[in-house]
Structure 1
Amino acid sequence: MADELGYQLSPLKTWGVLSDEAHETNPALAWPQSVDVFDQMRREDSQVGSVLRAVTLPIRGAKWSIDPAGAAPEVVDLVATDLGLQIKGEKPSAPLRTKDKFSWGEHLRMALLELPFGHSFFEQVYRVEGSHVRLRKLAWRPPRSISKIDVAPDGGLIAIEQHSPTGKDIRIPVDRLVAYVNDREGANWAGQSLLRTAYKNWLLKDRMLRAQALTVERNGLGVPVYTGAPVPDKATPEERDRWLNSEREAGLKLAKGFRAGEAAGASLPPGATLDLKGVSGRLPATDEPIRYHDEQIARAVLAHFLNLGTETGSWALGSTFANFFTDSLNAVAQHIAEITQQHVVEDLVDLNWGSSVPAPRLVFEPIGSEHPVTAEAIKALIECGALTPDGSLEAYMRTVHGLPVRDSTAPDTEDSSKPEEAA
């Protein structure tokens, strides 16, 4: 087959070309400076933290499993064991040990950091046990530790480099990497943060919050204004000047040191006054702009329902907004599943059995597809023959409805119907 004629990244890899690949017009958000900015957004702003949790927690709470998909039982068992996941369609079983084992839940949490940072890289670490290569861990490589992302002209990832205290950067080739990149376009392996479109609103909101706090601090109590005592009637011009300077200095010291409190007070000479002057006129309203920017931050991730019930709509719109939101969550979860399938599951199968052996698939139960487990629903399923009552179903229903565990010494239902046999 013919080689590629075009390119995604210029063969001349200058800093300008690498920077322009992200099409970022704000210097503060150009990689790697963007890592610190987006980290500050997610740590300091309550609305940003709320929308990120709204996106990540449902994905982390989804039911992930390994679908055999026609693979050999030995292959399915090794992949499920190494990833710490249950096999779809089989009875759940707890692992014998969790120490020094790969944790899928922790890996998923770190992989979802691609959303705020734009990318999340992991290094594959294996160990040999008997005749098999086992997955020991997927070691996270923090975004702020990455000094360079090496990309080929065709847009493929070659390697990443990390800062090293010894002076020579650590290079990790692509065959050791698992790269989760959000909204990658072409050769931009730094990705795009989910918070990029919310940056302007976060910045303006942060400034308004600071101005609001300063307004309350300066004008909440009022500004102390000291009026000095009148000059004595028979004072000479020199005495008059000394009196005025003394009153001015004493009044300024008193006004600057005045604080509200349980024991606050002031002692004034006869004729002097101390007033607390408020702002004449109306202060600029900041609540509405702050609320507006909160709404836009939630809208940036399709989390409109976070604003319902305030002043932007009623809860009756929640189901409509939730459908768009859950669809977006399922798309993100599918993206995670595809990257893990290609660069973790299939790599693990290739190392042990070769590329010609079928590999199982990493799947998840779609978010928002669960149906409530009610007694009426179970009854309908049993009556139509779709479900057969047994001990496992009874134990499950007792757990769901918070009922006590069945006494193992109690007679079965069939035996209790025949007292003479039970006796």
Structure 2
Amino acid sequence: MQAHTDARRNAEHRSFMRVLNRFAAMAVFFGLLLLPIAWFGRASFAPRTHENRRLEAFPRWSIHWAQDFERWFSDRYGMRDALVYYGSRLQMARTGMPMNQQVVVGRDNWLFYDENYTPGHLHFASLYGKDLFLPSDLKTIADNLSSVRQHLAACRIPFYLVIAPDKQTVYPEKLLMPPPPNAVTQADQLEAYLQAADPQLRIIDLRKPEQAAKAAQTRELYYRTDTHWNELGAFFGYQAIAKRLMQDGVLANAVGTRLDSYRIRTSPSAGGDIAVNLLDLPGYFRDHTVQLDNIQPRQAHDISLPGWPQDINNSFRVTENPVASGSLLLYRDSFFDALTPFVAENFHRIYSFLGRGIDGDRVRQAHPNVVMLEIVERGLRHLVDHPVNLASICE
């Protein structure tokens, strides 16, 4: 009889515990769902997420208000930084693969970014001789650049296209699957087409100068965890640009083209734009900065000019050097940021726009001695965008 009673009590206890476990699981589940709301607006216990974009603004009333509110809340829910931070680390520890599919982890934990990656396809397809330009795109780009050159030439203003190399072009051996040595890339294809279509177009291709500098240097020219070159890599790019400008008589004697004019400093880094902005993994990968300190004090400095746009997120800058002469109107991407201190020593004024859309009205306003369009290799497809207001350049 006692055994029967004990068995019944044990069964009831097990049944009670099953019910309790169900309620506990439900409580934990709904608690986790409510946690982002309960923690809304409070500081996270993880490093702040750095994203290369603007967060959604609080929506105004419209028929799409609910959707806009969801995007706004998704940028700010409680413990978002912690969830992203530790989720990224868990993903890397568990699989060795980053959460962002546009990022590739190469040898020695070098990070690479493929802006043009399509899921299910090869990363860096152009580097392997794939995903080349269509004939129609080549013609559009050539027509755009030739039109710019011709309109500027009518005003006796030289025009230069500067191509900055991607990191995987200079360090292909750091990829897990290096490309074949004879692969024709988009940059190869485009440059050959442009030279045939318009031999007068001035192109400064920085791929070979950077590759030659890499072979001669023990220091690295690019950040391991960033898309960009470091200051040493930018210096060798500047050296090639200055050499061409002097050959063409645009500059009589460029300043600071010798490496022994600088002191080189190396220091640890918590990570570049790939590690921090794209993967939310600051400090996870080892990296370092290489900086060049000019032995002579620099003369160039940023100024503001009436009639020109205010600098918003570094989208427009005016740099002035009181002891130099001439002016440069520059259209660029972020690769030129590290070049600017070198180039600015050679021009009285640089008008620098973040973007590729050359505007004839800006040329007329600046009255530059030189116009330059700098673009990183992975962005070459953006050259299909048409320039505007070219007819007003010489007015």
Q: Which structure ranks higher in relative contact order (CA pairs < 8 Å, sequence separation ≥ 6)?
A: 1
TM-score (normalizing by structure 1): 0.23
TM-score (normalizing by structure 2): 0.24
Structure whose alpha-carbon radius of gyration is higher: 1
